[in-house]
């Protein structure tokens, strides 16, 4: 939702690839009557600068599929001069701290980067003994092994459903070197975000 509202909502991008997945969390075996974001990873390319690629992954990538996914995605890219930014969310209950998580002002951002990433991060670094999981961790580990500059921004939230507060927690990233040239008018994007959430809530309502 953050990418759709603040970066992708323009004619500057074109879809150049798609990856369909199937596992116990993505049981759909046919594309009939299924939205692409329900069971696909979509790849976008910036029309004005083809070196800028964006992957929007809305489906679950199982542990035994992650290496194959990484090989297919990064195998077609030139690793020299490559830089990766990863955005992810997880429950605040996963955040390990000596104080109670009930007193934490969530949502909040933490960053984890590879050794080669030399730019300034937009939020505090993730402290030990915290860890990251699933596809974001796999991507960051892959970049560390291949010496690719990469940074992961993890948003810790205390809500289950999508909401404006959680999505806007990523706003500090709009000033980063990578994203600031891609964002449009932030105030207009906020309006688009609210419309996006309103339509999403209407779609998910159950009437009895």
Q: Where is average pLDDT lowest: 61-75, 93-107, 151-165, 183-197?
A: 183-197
Task: Please give the Cα distance from 198 to 38 (Å, whole number).
Answer: 18
Confidence of residue 27 (pLDDT cuts 50, 70, 90): low
At 72 the pLDDT is 86
Tokens found for residue 188? 């207009």
- Is the alpha carbon torsion for 138, 139, 141, 142 positive or negative? positive
Asked if residue 56 is part of any domain, the answer here is yes
Domain CATH for 74:
3.40.50.10900
Q: Residue holding tokens 């992954």? A: 57
Q: How far apart, in whole angstroms, are the C-alpha atoms of residue 126 and residue 108?
A: 11
Pick from 22, 8, 123: nearest CA to 64: 22
Tell me if 109 sits within 8 A of 155, measured CB to CB: yes
Contacts of 99 (CB under 8 A, 6+ apart): none
What pLDDT, in 10s, does the model give residues 87-102? Answer: 999 998 889 888 776 7
**Predicted TM-score of the model (pTM):** 0.82
Residue 63 lies in a domain: yes
The count of domains in the chain is: 1
> Looking at per-residue confidence, does 123 or 187 come out higher?
123
Q: How many CB atoms lie within 10 A of CB 83?
A: 15
**Paired tokens of 117:** 């990433």
What is the span of the domain harbouring residue 114?
Answer: 1-27+38-184
Does residue 190 sit within a domain? no
Asked if residue 143 is part of any domain, the answer here is yes
Strand bridging mode 84-91 / 150-157: parallel
Domain membership of residue 164 (yes or no) is yes
User: Residue 86 has what DSSP assignment?
Assistant: E
Residue 207: pLDDT band (50, 70, 90) is very low
Domain-located, residue 180? yes
Residue 153 belongs to a domain: yes
Q: Is residue 198 part of a domain?
A: no
């Amino acid at each position: 939702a953050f990418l759709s509202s603040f970066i992708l909502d323009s004619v500057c991008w074109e879809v150049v690839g798609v990856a369909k997945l199937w596992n116990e969390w993505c049981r759909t075996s046919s594309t009939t009557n299924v939205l692409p974001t329900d069971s696909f990873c979509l790849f976008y390319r910036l029309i004005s600068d083809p070196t800028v690629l964006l992957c929007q992954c809305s489906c679950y990538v199982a542990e035994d599929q992650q290496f194959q996914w990484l090989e297919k995605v990064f195998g077609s890219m030139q690793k020299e001069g490559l830089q990766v930014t990863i955005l992810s969310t997880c429950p605040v209950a996963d955040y390990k701290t000596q104080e109670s998580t009930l007193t934490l002002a969530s949502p909040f951002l933490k960053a984890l980067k590879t050794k080669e990433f030399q730019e300034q991060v937009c939020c505090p670094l993730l402290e030990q003994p915290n860890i990251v999981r699933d596809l974001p961790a796999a991507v960051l580990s892959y970049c560390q092994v291949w010496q690719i500059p990469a940074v992961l921004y993890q948003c810790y939230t205390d809500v289950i459903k999508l909401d404006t507060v959680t999505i806007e927690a990523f706003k500090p990233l709009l000033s980063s070197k990578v994203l600031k040239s891609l964002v449009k008018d932030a105030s207009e994007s906020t309006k688009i975000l609210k419309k996006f959430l309103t339509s999403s809530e209407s779609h998910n309502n159950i009437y009895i």
